Amino acid sequence: MSKRCTIARLGLLLMAVALLAGCDQQAKELLHAGKATARTDLVGGPVAYADTGDFILENDKVRVAILGFQRSWGPGVFGGSLVDADIRRDDPRYPPGYGRDKLAEIFPFANLLVPAPLGGQVTVVKDGSDGQEAVIRVEGKGMFMFEALSVLETQRKLLAGLGYPDVHTSIDFRTDYLLKPGDQFVTMRTWVALRPRASQSNQNKGFSEGASCTNDASCGSGGVLVCQNIGTAGTGTCGCKSLADQGCGGETCAMAHNFDDFGCQQCGCSGTATMTNTTGPVSVFAAVLGPKNPGIGESKTKAGVGGGDFVFFGNQTDIFVPGHGFDEEKPVWDALFNNVDTFGHPLVFDFVSAAGGEVSYAYYTKKQAGQDKEPQVLVPVFTSAATAFVTAAVNCSTDPSDDDSCDKVRVFEYERYLAIGQGDIASVSDIVWKHRATATGTVKGYVRWEQTGQAVANASVHVLRDPDPTKKWTSLQEVVQANRAIDASPGVLDSVDADVGADTVEDGAFEATLPAGHYVLVPMDPHKVVTGAPLQIEVKAGKTNVVVPSLPAPARLRVKALDSQGSALPAKATVVRLGSDGKPLFRDGGRLPYFGQGRLGIGIERLAFGMDGSFDLPIQAGTYRLVVSHGIEWSVADQVVTLKPGEERSLKVSLAHEVDTTGWLSTDFHLHAEPSFDSGMPLGDRVQTIAAEGVDYVASTDHDVLSDYVPFLRKFNLDQWLKAVVGSEVSTLEIGHYIGFPLKYNQVEVAGQPHNAVPSHGSVDWYCTPSNDLLKKILASSGMDGGQASTIIAHPRDGFLGWLDQAGVNAYSLTRTLSLMEQNNPVLRTVACDQDAMEVFNGKRFDMTHTATVKEVQLFSRCLKRIDDAGVTGNTVDAASAREVMKVACPELADRGLQNVVTFEGVDSCPADEDITTCKMRYRMALAAISAGDINTRTPEEQAAWMAEGQSLPSGATEQTSDTALSALKPLCDFDPAKLSQPFETAVPPASWNRPCGRRDGVLSDYFRFLEHGYVRGIVGGSDSHGYKQEPGLPRTYIRSNTDAPSNVDPQTVGESLRGSHTVPSYGPFIDVKVLGGGPGDTVKATAGQKLKVHVKVQTASWFGVDRVEVYLNGQVAQAFDLAVDASRVVDFDKDVELDVPTRDSHIVVVALGAQPGSWMRPVYLDVPFGELQLARVASIAFSSLLGSLAKTVFPPPARIPDFFPVFPMAISSAVLVDVGGDGKYDAPLPLPAFCSPQCDATTGEIQDAGYSAQGKKRKCSDLQSNYKCLTPENRCGVDVPGVCNIYSEQKAGALRSLLGTH
Amino acid sequence: MRPSFVNMFRGQQAFSLAISISFVAVALVCRPALAHEHPGPDLPAGATATGDAKPCGDCDHGGKGSDAKPCVGDCEHGGKGGEHRGCPGLAAAGDDCDCPECAGDHHGPHGEKGEHGEKGEHGERGQHGEHHGMGPHGEGGHMPPPMFGQLHGWLTQLPRPTALIQMQTAVFTGDSAQVARGDRAEVAGFGLRRARLGFEGNEGRHLSYALSADLASNPQTSGGNLGEAWLAMHVGHLELKLGAQHTPYLQEAMLSSGHLGLAERSFSANAMAPFRQVGATLSGHYDLAGLEWYVGSYNAFERGINFYQGIREFSGFTGNRFGGVSFVGRLSAAPLGAMGKQVFDAEGGKLRLGIGVSGYTSDAGATRMNGMAGDLHAKFMGAHLLVQYLRDTANPKEQPTDTATTTTALTRQAITAELGYAWRRLNAAVRYEKIDPDTSRDDDQDGTVVSGALGVQLPGERMRIQAQFDHRQEPYGPTIKGASALKNDVAFLMFQLLH
């Protein structure tokens, strides 16, 4: 070696040493808070929202992003929220700005208010340059995320009257997001400052609320409001005084000054008190409302503050709660079935975490000084995508002893943490244990295949509580059963991934820390197919356990699906696990939801989709029923296979197109995928699931974002099977959801932008936009090759997310009455009715189709109550007696042989070894199936009663009349448990049996009434599919078309067919209706008294059927046909139905239904099972809970309508309109609905639309309903709702401060 | 979870960059000195013969042409050569210097190769002694006239195409037959077993290379359809081969699929030998008692989910999954004369005996796998016997702390015995196998297999037709229930074309 080289090598060595030292030092000092100025500053990832201009907080471990002053494009509304979070990745695959964020959004709330930061209220407090900490601060006035919640503010007097005075609904927020070097968690420290107002007691002494000292702005700069002239009786007035006059210095306070009991500012700044972290279940409303609220925690306290966060983990993560594991939905549904109000009795968890594969999160708190145990987070609202956590609360006592430390304090502080891990639950649990200084030991090892000893890369190891360490557990089921006996949970405490996250060395190794204790470890393969034998260990603090659990080899099932010509067919494989009796296992079957296998129901083990007809399914050994399908028009292949461990089986099946739909396209205009925050389905998977269901034409309709399926159609070579256009579901929070398609989507433009630079991809911004303007915005986005966009109202009767419900539309009078909670919501001043169509079928929501009758609802409620109560004594359930009681739970159905409801589905009782909880669900589900079938089987009497409720009102009825009618209806379906022992005829008078239940309205019922009012719009069925469990095309819309080839479809023609109502929404059957040569949506001419032949042909594929066909004339059931149950029949009904043409213009509608078990679509289409929670449903539950809590003493609980059921084959044809008058058009007997907001002349108040005229004379808005006005600037009839909506535009207008002060 | 040095290194990008720059700088500074220390070949490739070898007469520049002419006379230099190259089998026999054994695969006028390796169902390897081909003109080959030398040298360095097509027809399959369980087919019908295409060549007299791909899909090959991709350097008795190649483990696994006694290798060889992997092999070949040794290092091995899936090939093709390496070694001898590349005793000669022992150790991340194998191969008067024993163990690197509840070592073993006879171009063989995929317990993976085959090799050894029947017995299989045998017997025909 040359000397020169030797010197060079020495130099290299020295340089390496220096660099290593330097790098180490650099890593330790990495601490930064600041504005992102470049893409590389951002977090990045599949659901990253932040962009340049937003704020970044990072250290050597983690990087998070916080929105600046802007409207949130995430599930929240306002800015300042934590939207992105990831570990730091020193991995060239993930360069800066291209991380793996999978968090949707987190933002604090207190008393249901959330901060709405304005310009300059998101700031860097400490940039981290001191090496100590980096802090980003978000301040903001508390606003209600849901305007509906402003009822707490607007109805303060009402609340006080109900016994809830002084509720704090005027709050300022300050939240510091804080990082220190080395932290793997973000500290979120929030201060809430209560804005003062005169207390209720002082108001009672003469200080009106409005005279309280709340508005410091009115005193101008340097002035403060003080109370003056306080008399001995406590009366007085407020006025302005300078600080000097007050004897105060010129101090400024960080959050709040001191105030007196009258809400008047005093010298000095308010001290800060720390809110108490919750360590057990307390009522959320107890904290917020004060002493008279129901539920846990009643004490002599005043209204207080409950603080926490809205945490939207997002659907690209799997939520985990210690105890229930990944089955976090189970406790929610357990609570619901036990009629537990989760606000009064919230769910309680040690912490809640979410695994995203490459990144994971945990939300938690830690014990405060003086607390002897670790706190827990309270969960009043929970879905897999959206959760509200309450972590701390404060309620001052009525006892004066705490006045100084509590009552006079205006600022309260609470703290919680967001841990960010490698991708599994264990990596965030580790952070939690460490942060809490919990004594832990280590468990490590690897999972291996039992047959070869090979390490299983990316396997997982689930950690369960050992229910009895003295016992030897031989199966997972034993362990779970023993754990359930302890606390009703399977006892899943942690989950560890081998090769966690983006580990490049896939050697199957895992490692985790666990608190000292006894555990059972259960390994699982990376595809979540097989589990290994349980393995018991004892973990000791500071010690390490090395374990090597084994997994049996999964079996494999290879299937090839072909059409009758032998060509490959996109198809779906449904694999149902069969028990030893050859019948499908009940509910989850062999799936383990608590280990993250998800829930499919009816014993289904696997679903798979094969674009070229090929399936390769790893599956655990067992006996299965394999059903291969291609949607509702095709036959299925159905066979039983038995597989042993490691066995591979190849099968070839052939399917045939059975249903003739010539001239009709099968469409689905309501589909979601990963771009929607509440869907975790990749776009490619979405396209595959659509093609496998045999849908011809679809629109992608993600929530508030445009996405394009076309690249995936090409990728999978599906052009001949499917055509797709770009659309969006404009998902307002409080005026319903609006679908628009095809919309402009510039792929190049989007591709050229980073995903989170244009998070909506051009979708319509609905914030503070009334519905008429919203429709205009959608139409303005028309584009692609489809001409004018089509607009559809989604799920119009879906409570909080339903257009008709939110607008307060009375289903009988079609007038509007805003609910108490929406009376201050300005976007509800008017209601648009100009959309092209509305969904009469949405998802598998058979609870939203027909309006149930009083008898149906009461009968369901009575039977359900008996099942719920069966064998229950206190907190225990006697299984034997419960089984006996349930066998006669429904005497009301004795005449149908269904006193024992499970006989409906061909069994006599639960299996002997089935636990009572599962057994009860079996009865509940059978009952729900019967009830839902009955509700959707419309008798002539029921339909006549429905129509009569509206028609009993005199023409031009006022809303008072209709409201009276409604208020008379509602109590009829309130269930009174006290009457359970009475005979049904006594408890529910027969005269009311057929009357509609006025608390829940169905869209099909609405449709008939709309037709009577001449409000003719298209009707559609949309699957609203968010994942695998909601099949695309179920329901779907058959739409008349001039081509049957998807590749030849012209979107413009589809739009025209939709606007022309040439549609047949369907859950399976295909209805062909011909009247005088016309079909659905057509207007035909006829003569009064003429015998009209209506040709009705109903077809179903050979594996399901219809057993009832109903022909409606003018909203009445003119003829109904009960058919023999025969699923194998393809043409179920084919005949001419003769009707007498009445003297008025008419409409004819046909409905087909399969309500009997032999007609159902199992297992190809999954039941709506126990366990499925949608955000919409949870929001409804939350608001019902709020109202229920407020008014529980006033109103009994409303009757329940079954919302879990099998899929019933059901279809409805759009109305064929019959022109009897001879003017060539359909003239409805009733005027256009009042709830629509017709255009009006502000000067005259007259309605411009001739459809609202009476006898040729223009009517005024007030003629529609007395509180209608011709509103300006809208120039539409509507309700003059006060309130502030767009805080951002108001800020620009300079009026915000005072406006916000009104809160 | 395991900290990775690579990841740590990646984490320090600035550091990494600086180090890289420094290395380049050092390399530039040191280049002359290093070059001086490690002088490379200083002769133009292909232009110079060693001169100590004589022309191989009719073998035409080396081994022998594709028409299998005998290389009488000069074979000791052309076929065998002083470097133990060319026709190892014949050289060892050394009697009449007929080179039929050379005639096999693709050793054209410019040297030869063992053969383009191929793979059985679970991979197989090419002939041992492969790539003993000579330089461009064959070591000891005759020199072309000087005026044509450059052109000739250039032409003879062109890569030579290689091909292997193998079609199988299952004429009978039992109800339980499954490819995943090692069976040849699970339904009756035609199947393309192998469709390999590639090329091979030499670069100078010390370098040879091969690249091939298999166009027939093989679900067991995790690394795609790569066949071989290697570069070999030959110096004296030594050979260093780098790239994707056959590992030197077990006689049967090292044989070409065209030279087996039956249409397919034994189940146990397919399941327990590592076959092709990415790495480096150093080998030595000696005349003395036909002694050969091999040592190699490759990316760590990865087994499949069940026994019959064997060891995945080319785990390094998509990166070294475990970050660890394996080491394989083999020592073999043929004291009574070269065994030839065929299992059969095609020449019907005197008694010959080949013995070999092999072993491996593989650092597969959290697991360490160790394997050993022994083989005995005898030929006499047209008959042959091949007996093999294989045993391997997968061990956790860190022993479980509670052995009462967690698994420790998993050991498996198998023994095979094959007996056959060849007459002219016809051959017949039977094989018995006993397989125990987990010696600690009796389960449905245990089994015995009896196979029988009849075959004919067409002239030129380019074409082979063979019929085989496998009967399997799995004494603990759930479908047997102690009553009847599994119905996973398979009968199939194989047609093979080599070039």
Q: Three-class SS string for A218-244? A: HHCCCEEEEEECCCCCCCCEEEEEECC
Cross-chain CB nearest to A451 (options B1, B32, B445) = B445
Model-level ipTM above the cut of 0.85: no
Cβ within 8 Å, pair B22-A5? no
Nearest-10 Cα torsion for A867, A873, A878, A881: -60
Cβ contact A445–B366 (<8 Å):
yes
- Note the pLDDT tens digit of each residue in A859-918: 999 999 999 899 988 778 899 999 999 999 999 999 999 999 999 988 889 998 888 888
Tell me the one-letter amino acid at A796: P
DSSP conformation letters of A2-46: -HHHHHHHHHHHHHHHHHHHHHHHHHHH-EEEEE--SGGGS--ST
**What 8-state DSSP symbol labels residue A1025?**
B
Convert the pLDDT of each residue in A120-136 to its tens digit: 789 999 999 999 999 99
Q: Measured between CA atoms, how close is A552 to chain B, in angstroms?
A: 9
Give the integer Cα–Cα distance in Å for A549 and A436.
29
Lowest mean pLDDT segment, chosen from A97-101, A808-812, A958-962: A958-962
The DSSP letter of residue A270 is P
Say which CATH topology domain A1070-1168+1203-1233 has: Immunoglobulin-like (2.60.40)
Alpha-carbon distance B319 to nearest alpha carbon in chain A (angstroms): 9
Lowest mean pLDDT among A217-221, A412-416, A961-965, B383-387: A217-221
- Is the backbone of residue B475 left (phi > 0), alpha (psi -120 to 50) or beta? alpha
Chain A residues 1224-1263 with CB within 8 Å of chain B = none
Question: What was the pLDDT predicted at A1183?
Answer: 59
Please indicate, yes or no, if residue B30 is contained in any of the structural domains: no
| CB neighbourhood size of A1297 (10 A) | 13
Runs of H (alpha helix) within A352-453? 425-435
Answer whether residue B315 shows pLDDT above 70: no
pLDDT of residue A1293 exceeding 50:
no
Inter-chain contact B366–A509, Cβ cutoff 8 Å?
A: yes
Give the residue with greater pLDDT, A35 vs A753. Answer: A35
Q: Measure the CA–CA gap between A1034 and A1207, rounded to whole angstroms.
A: 9
For A432, phi then psi, to 5°, come to -65, -50
| Chains A, B: CB pairs < 8 Å | 204
CATH of the domain at B448: 2.40.160.10
Confidence (pLDDT) at B16: 37
**How many angstroms away from the CA of B408 is the closest CA of chain A?**
7
Res A140 pLDDT > 60: yes
Pairing of strands A1063-1066, A1036-1040: antiparallel
- Domain range for B464 is 48-143+151-498
pLDDT (tens digit per residue) in A987-1043: 999 999 999 987 788 999 999 999 999 999 999 999 999 988 899 999 999 999 999
Q: What is the pLDDT of residue A16?
A: 55
Q: In this structure, is residue B437 part of a structural domain?
A: yes
Residues 6+ apart with CB under 8 A from A470: none
The number of CA neighbours under 13 Å toward the Cβ of B383 is 6
Statement: residue A452 has pLDDT above 50: yes
CA–CA distance, A840 with B107 (Å, rounded to integer): 76
C-alpha to C-alpha distance for B194 and A54, rounded to whole angstroms: 58
Nearest to A87, CA basis, from A105, A99, A96, A104: A99
The tokens of B252 are what?
């049967």
Of A1212, A937, A936, the C-alpha closest to A1070 is A1212
Question: Considering CB atoms only, which of B7, B33, B187 is closest to A504?
Answer: B7
pLDDT at B169: 93
Q: Which residue has the higher pLDDT, A306 or B65?
A: A306
In chain B, whose CA is at the least distance from the CA of A501? B1
Angle separating helix axes A854-869 and A916-936, nearest 10 degrees: 180
Taking the C-alpha atoms of residue A1129 and residue A249, their distance in angstroms, rounded to an integer, is: 89
Pick the more confident residue, A141 or A122. Answer: A122
Fold agreement between A439-553 and A1070-1168+1203-1233: yes
- Whole-angstrom Cα distance, residue A1021 to residue A334? 31
Picking from A507, A529, A530, A545 by the largest number of B CB atoms within 10 A of its own CB, the best residue to mutate is: A507
Tell me: pLDDT of B197 over 60. yes
- Confidence check: pLDDT of A756 > 50: no
The architecture that CATH gives domain A664-849+1000-1066 is Alpha-Beta Barrel (3.20)
Q: Give domain status of residue B315, yes or no.
A: yes
Name the amino acid, one letter, at A352. Answer: V
- Other C-beta atoms within 10 Å of A749: how many? 12
CB atoms within 10 A of CB A103: 31
Of all residues in chain A, what percent carry a pLDDT higher than 70? 83
CATH assignment of A439-553, among 2.60.40.10, 3.30.70.100, 1.10.3720.10, 3.20.20.70: 2.60.40.10
The residues, any chain, with a CB within 8 Å of residue A1077's CB and separated by 6 or more, are A1084
In what order do the strands lie in the sheet containing A737-741? A728-731, A737-741, A790-794, A837-842, A1018-1022
Please indicate whether, in this complex, the C-beta atoms of A5 and B29 are within 8 angstroms of each other: yes
- pLDDT value at residue A1180: 58
Whether A28 shows a pLDDT value over 70: the answer reads no
Q: Is the dihedral of CA A447, A452, A454, A459 positive or negative?
A: negative
Q: According to the model, what pLDDT value does residue A875 have?
A: 73
Most confident of A1058-1072, A1288-1302, B362-376: A1058-1072
Structure tokens at A877: 């359930």
Give the pLDDT confidence score for residue A27 in this predicted structure: 47
Residues A954-978 have a mean pLDDT of 67
Domain ranges of chain A: 28-196+264-438, 439-553, 557-644, 664-849+1000-1066, 854-999, 1070-1168+1203-1233, 1237-1303
The residue that leads in pLDDT, A413 or B349, is A413
Instruction: Give the closest residue to B166 by CA, choosing from B489, B422, B463, B468.
Output: B463
Mean pLDDT, residues A523-539 taken together:
94
Give the model's pLDDT for residue B63: 34
pLDDT at res. A648:
85
| CATH match of A28-196+264-438 with 2.40.128 | no
In this model, does residue A1258 exceed pLDDT 90?
A: no
Mean pLDDT computed over every residue of chain A: 85
Quick one: pLDDT band at residue A951, thresholds 50, 70, 90?
low
Contact A537 B402 (CB under 8 A): yes
A472 touching B (Cβ < 8 Å): no
Mean pLDDT on A804-829:
83
Average pLDDT (A1140-1169) is 95
Mean pLDDT confidence for A482-510:
91
Taking only the tens place, the pLDDT of each residue in A255-269 is 777 766 656 666 777
Residues of A in contact with B11 (CB under 8 A): 90-91
Question: Using CB atoms and an 8 Å cut-off, which of residues 92-111 of chain A contact chain B?
Answer: 92
Winning range, highest mean pLDDT, from A817-821, A1022-1026, B257-261, B343-347: A1022-1026
Give the pLDDT mean for B18-36: 41
- The domain total for chain B is 1
CA dihedral A424, A427, A432, A438 (to 10 degrees): 120
| Of A37-51, A483-497, A1193-1207, B155-169, the least confident | A1193-1207
| In a domain? residue B493 | yes
- Lowest mean pLDDT, pick from A77-81, A983-987, B279-283: A77-81
Spatial CA neighbour of A507 closest among B385, B365, B158, B250? B365
pLDDT over threshold 50, residue A1081: yes
User: Whole-angstrom Cα distance, residue B129 to residue B112?
Assistant: 10
Return d(Cα A977, Cα A890) in angstroms, integer. 15
Range scoring the smallest mean pLDDT among A143-147, A790-794, A1001-1005, A1165-1169 = A143-147
Q: Do B114 and B125 meet the contact criterion of CB atoms below 8 Å apart?
A: no
Q: Is the pLDDT of residue A1269 over 60?
A: yes
Q: Would you state the pLDDT for residue A1084?
A: 97
A679 vs A542 pLDDT, higher one: A542
For residue A792, pLDDT over 90 is answered with: yes
Pairwise pLDDT comparison (A764 vs A657), residue with the higher score: A657
The answer to which of A211-215, A872-876, B101-105 has the lowest mean pLDDT is B101-105
Which chain B residues are Cβ-neighbours of A1 within 8 angstroms? 30, 33, 37
Other Cβ atoms closer than 10 A to B482: 6
Largest CA distance in chain A: 117
A29 close contact with B: CB closer than 8 A = no
Which of the residues B4, B305, B363 would you substitute to probe the A interface, choosing the one with the greatest number of A C-beta atoms within 10 Å? B305
Q: Residues 6 or more apart from B210 whose CB is under 8 A from it?
A: B113, B116, B117, B131, B162, B198, B199, B200, B201, B228, B229, B230
| Range in A217-221, A382-386, A542-546, A827-831 with the lowest mean pLDDT | A217-221
Q: Best residue in B1, B17, B268 to probe A by mutation, most A CBs within 10 Å?
A: B1
In tens, the pLDDT along A564-593 reads 999 999 999 999 999 988 889 888 888 999
User: How far apart are the CA of B329 and the nearest CA of chain A, in angstroms?
Assistant: 22
Residues 518-557 on A with a CB inside 8 Å of B are 535-537, 544-550, 553-554, 556
Confidence (pLDDT) at B21: 46
Q: Has residue A984 got a pLDDT over 90? A: yes
CB within 8 Å: A550 and B402: no
Given pLDDT bands bounded at 50, 70 and 90, which one contains residue B454? very high
Q: What is the mean pLDDT of residues A42-64?
A: 91
Report pLDDT for A22: 46
Pairing of strands A664-668, A697-700: parallel
Contacts of A549 in chain B (CB under 8 A): 406-407
Distance from CA of A422 to the nearest CA of B (A): 9
The mean of the pLDDT values for chain B is 72
| Inter-chain CB proximity B33 and A2 less than 8 Å | yes
Terminal Cα-to-Cα distance of chain A (whole angstroms): 83
Q: If contacts are CB pairs under 8 Å, which of residues 637-676 in chain A contact chain B?
A: 644-650
The helix (H) or strand (E) run that includes residue A604 is strand A604-610
Q: How far apart are the C-alpha atoms of B449 and B436, rounded to whole Å?
A: 12
Asked if A546 lies within 8 A of B366 by C-beta distance, the reply is no
Interface of A with B in 430-459 (CB under 8 A): 444-446, 448-449, 451-455, 457
Give the one of A90, A454, A644 whose C-beta lies nearest to B10's C-beta. A90
- What's the CATH code, domain A557-644? 2.60.40
Contacts of residue B4 in chain A, CB cutoff 8 Å? 503-505
- Measured between beta carbons, the chain A residues lying within 8 angstroms of B3 are none
Mean per-residue pLDDT, A185-198: 86
Smallest CA-to-CA distance from A387 within A412, A366, A362 is with A362
Q: What are phi and psi of A755, to 5 degrees?
A: -50, -45
Q: Which residues in chain A have their CB less than 8 angstroms from residue B29's CB?
A: 4-5, 8
Q: What is the pLDDT of residue A510?
A: 95
Q: What single DSSP character describes residue A1076?
A: T
Report chain B residues whose CB lies below 8 A from the CB of A617. Answer: none
For residue A760, pLDDT beyond 50: yes
